[in-house]
Chains A and B, each alone.
Chain A
Amino acid sequence: MFFWSLVLIAVGIFSSFIYGRSRIKLNSKKQGTKSKSLPNYYAQYVLMWCLFPALIVYFSWAIFQEQIIQNIVISNFEYIEGAVYNEGLLLAEIRNVANNPSFADGKSIEIINAASHYSSLRQISQISFYTSIIIIMLLGALYASQKLKPEFHAQHTIEKYIQYILIFCSSVAIFTTIGIVFSLIFESLRFFAEVSIFEFLFSTEWYPFIPIREGQTAAEGSFGAVPIFAGTFLVMVVAMCVAAPLGLLTAIYLAEYASQRVRKIVKPLLEILAGIPTIVYGFFAFVSVAPFVKAFGQSIGIDASPTSALAAGMVMGVMIIPFISSLSDDVINSVPQSLREASLGIGANKAETIKKVILPAALPGIVGAFLLAISRAIGETMIVVVAAGTAPNLTGNPFENVTTVTVQIVVALIGDQEFDNPRTLSAFALGLVLFVITLFLNIIALQIVKRYRERYE
């Protein structure tokens, strides 16, 4: 149904374009004046008036049709006294019967009636859908064709419409973000209705169990997220201990020491690191690094667990090296050459120039790069799921199992879950915390980078 309607719309806009073009030529010939804009702009004008109303009809039908039909079918359904119905199951049954008459065998008469009601409603909907699209396109073209006079500035109007289209496109992403934030907030509010926010933020016990049977008291859950935040922080610190020096020194080498040729090869290679799927890093961490960490821990007399904050953090550190090195390389490069020359001209050597002039000048940008890397590290999921473990230990020992915010979100949502108990809802509260933290880190980082840019451009 919707495919053919797209064909219909395509035919409509094509003919409206041709119509607009020939109509304006005719009109300006009749009046003996030249039109203010080129004929194509008038054609586009008619096309837009034809297309956009049709698209609005199309999408509103696509979104609301099924819902409305179902409501009508359900409200007209002949309930049998005393029987208990599940609305979702009932609807599924009706739809099945309507789509495939062979399912009708053995169904009650009410359902068969409802199914035929459903089918007829769909047919009506389809016919009215095509009719309204044709009518709306004709109306649009009619309205537009009234404007097709040589003295009408079609081009200006088109420019304005194009601006609206661009605004619409850019607001899609923004509104999606806002939608995500609101869904996080509402679900979190449901969570905080059952678990106090103080318990969540300040208590140190995370046992997200819920009673399976009514009256089961042994498994009361407790939702103190402190060990999770601590675990996230620990993994992030380990990652930054790896990534900050390696990334920064790489950037210094690339920007100041490497020849153009080396730079051209090494920089893209490093950026490939950022393109490796994180789950691949995850099993690298689990299969190669974690056993090494365990063996190393044993050799120095520390009892390391098979998955540890150290293993996950180290691999995550490698993953975020390109963020730091690439961004820092850019800011170091944008330190004006004149500062380098000034310093070298006084007789400073390269190391002094880098330490005393270039790094201080690039520092705000480098800090910005670090903050972006941190927000990437605390939002990272797959590596920690695989390599850090799931035990909510409140510990500062990187050889132990820890868990992070993202891991707990995964754990809470895995499996067959209903969104009505605090265990699943805790995912949203954790997500909200994660979102707020990374949002602030990003804002601060962008501010720092911006201020730095203003100084030299």
Chain B
Amino acid sequence: MSNSKILANSVDVYYGSKQALFGISMDIKEKEVTALIGPSGCGKSTFLRCINRMNDLIEICKVSGSIKVDNQEIISDKTDVVSLRSKIGMVFQKPNPFPKSIFDNVAYGPTIHGLVDSKNDLEEIVHSSLKKAGLFDEVKDRLNEPGTSLSGGQQQRLCIARAIAVNPEIILMDEPCSALDPIATAIIEELIDELRLNYTIIIVTHSMQQAARVSQKTCFFHLGELIETGETNKIFTNPDNTKTQDYITGRFG
């Protein structure tokens, strides 16, 4: 229990009167990659968005139950959502750089959180974040060009750089490669593997090969319920539940 980073306990989510998640409990370890898989509409993205309270943006969404991050309850009115989100970065399905320069995209987080005192420090953070996201060499000569001018894969790495610039401990990735071609996907997957050394990563994915390649733990969701969770190796070779078996062998979903 000591190194569990996120501890979810019977989380229910309702969209209006429709229940989307049913009593999800989960234990996510530090500095591991956890993959959430399952057919469309099974609630995996909804669960991911509970962890950084992104569901607050949806007026009709109600979350109950308990999620603890570093033993701090976050499903509570008293939670400081802003500092929670600065601790938990997020990468979205579609690359969504701001319509600003590459530099300003990465500098955005450190600036609003007051992490830097001088221009040099800011430059330092921007450069190192871009390096960690494996993008620096490709863009170092054009940091003043708009972020939207990059290719899709580069944009997604820019978004990763933007997320890690505020020095988070956890990174949530919501199908980060679904809008990318196979080469860009491979680059991102490699990057995830490197980031694992420093960050706890939770990734929602539709691609089972991707889950198998990048994750250590896998959780299988179906119709709002968590069916099975365990070591990725085990889930993909010898799952306990027949539904999981059916899904990964392609019999449904």
Contact = CB atoms under 8 A, between A and B. Distances in A.
Given A345-B89, A348-B112, A455-B99, A338 B94 contact: yes
A250 B109 CA distance: 28
Contacts of A345: 52, 54, 85, 89-90, 92, 163
Contact of A347 (B98, B100, B109): B109
Given A341-B54, A342-B162, A356-B112, A349 B98 contact: no
Contacts of A259: 59
Interface in A327-365: 336, 338-349, 352, 356-357, 360-361
A342 B96 contact: yes
Interface string B24-65: 000000000000000000000000000010100101000000
A336 B96 contact: yes
Contacts of A346: 85-86, 89, 108-109, 112, 162-163, 166
A342 to B, nearest CB: 5
Given A342-B159, A346-B85, A360-B99, A260 B92 contact: no
A360 B96 contact: no
Interface residues of A, number: 21
B86 A343 contact: no
B98 A339 contact: yes
A356 B108 contact: yes
A171 B145 CA distance: 44
Contacts of B213: none
A340 B57 contact: yes
Interface string B80-121: 001111110110101011111000000011001100000000
B96 A341 contact: yes
Contacts of B166: 346-347
Contacts, number: 67
A347 to B, nearest CB: 3
B82 A349 contact: yes
Contacts of A341: 54, 57, 90, 92, 96
B148 to A, nearest CB: 8
Contacts of B159: 342
Given A357-B98, A360-B100, A361-B99, A347 B163 contact: no
A343 B163 contact: no
B57 A344 contact: yes
Nearest to B165: A346
Contacts of A356: 108, 112
B47 to A, nearest CB: 16
Nearest to A455: B99
Interface string A259-274: 1100000000000000
Given A346-B163, A347-B86, A347-B113, A339 B100 contact: no
Interface in B171-226: none
Contacts of A455: 99
Nearest to A355: B112
A349 B112 CA distance: 9
A357 B96 CA distance: 12
Contacts of B99: 339, 360-361, 455
A363 B123 CA distance: 27
Contacts of A336: 96
Contact of B96 (A260, A339, A347, A352): A339
A342 B92 contact: yes
Contacts of A347: 82-87, 109, 112-113, 166
B69 to A, nearest CB: 14
B45 to A, nearest CB: 12
A283 to B, nearest CB: 42
A348 B165 CA distance: 13
Nearest to B90: A345
Contact of A352 (B87, B94, B112): B112
Interface in A285-316: none
Contacts of B87: 347
Contacts of B98: 339, 342-343, 357, 361
A348 B52 CA distance: 13
A59 B91 CA distance: 67
A348 B162 CA distance: 12
Nearest to B99: A361
Nearest to A352: B112
A397 B59 CA distance: 49
A361 B105 CA distance: 13
Contacts of A352: 112
A339 B57 CA distance: 13
Contacts of B97: 342
A342 B109 CA distance: 10
Contacts of A342: 92, 96-98, 159, 162
A342 B159 CA distance: 8
Contacts of B108: 343, 346, 348, 356-357
A345 B85 CA distance: 6
Interface in B8-34: none
A338 B95 CA distance: 9
Given A259-B59, A338-B94, A349-B82, A344 B113 contact: no
Interface of B: 52, 54, 57, 59, 82-87, 89-90, 92, 94, 96-100, 108-109, 112-113, 159, 162-163, 166
Give the 8 A-B residue pairs with the shortest CB-CB distance, closest first. Answer: A347-B86, A338-B96, A345-B90, A347-B85, A346-B109, A342-B96, A348-B112, A352-B112
27 contacts: A259-B59, A260-B59, A338-B94, A339-B99, A340-B57, A341-B54, A341-B57, A342-B97, A342-B159, A343-B98, A344-B54, A345-B52, A345-B54, A345-B85, A345-B90, A345-B163, A346-B89, A346-B108, A346-B112, A346-B162, A347-B82, A347-B86, A347-B112, A347-B113, A348-B109, A348-B112, A360-B99
Given A344-B54, A348-B82, A455-B99, 17 more contacts: A338-B92, A338-B94, A339-B96, A342-B98, A342-B159, A342-B162, A345-B52, A345-B54, A346-B86, A346-B108, A346-B166, A347-B87, A347-B166, A348-B109, A349-B82, A352-B112, A356-B112
